[in-house]
Amino acid sequence: MWEAQYKSPILNEPPVRIEGTAVNECPVSYCTAESVELVQLFHRASTLKEVIGTPGYGPDFEIPSRMADAFVILHDQSKVVENALRRSANRSMEHQRNVHRFGKTGN
């Protein structure tokens, strides 16, 4: 069983599990040329939305429903990853407080 995890690049702490990502086979087998393209399109749409306020799709743009579905799934999963990052940061801050308070690095 494989499950995605986030490991802080700064602190030497255990990784944080990203819920809902468990699979029974190598996750690389799920990556197709189409899925890579959809991730790139999602990134572009997210960036456009953030930078210019429009994602480049909507009432004035026609996109295939499969692409719209991929955007929704990727958006939801990016929120899952953000939550994992937040949990990791919270754990790191707690660790720092304990080190400051008790002067030790143990858990």
Which pLDDT tens digit goes with each residue over 56-105? Answer: 666 666 666 677 667 767 777 887 888 888 888 888 788 778 777 777 65
Which pLDDT value is given to residue 79?
A: 79
- What is the rounded distance in angstroms from the CA atom of residue 79 to the CA atom of residue 72? 11
- 69-93: burial string, b at 16+ Cβ within 10 Å, e else: ebbeebeeeeeeeeebeeebeebee
Which pLDDT value is given to residue 51?
A: 61
Which pLDDT value is given to residue 61?
A: 63
Which pLDDT value is given to residue 104?
A: 61
Using a pLDDT cut of 70, give the percent of the chain over it. 77
Q: Are 42 and 70 in contact (CB under 8 A)?
A: yes
Q: In DSSP terms, which residues pair with 5 in a beta bridge?
A: 17
- What is the rounded distance in angstroms from the CA atom of residue 78 to the CA atom of residue 81? 5
Which pLDDT value is given to residue 45?
A: 80
At 24-53, the pLDDT tens digits run 988 888 889 998 888 888 877 887 677 666
Q: Where are the domains of the chain?
A: 31-102
> Model pTM?
0.45
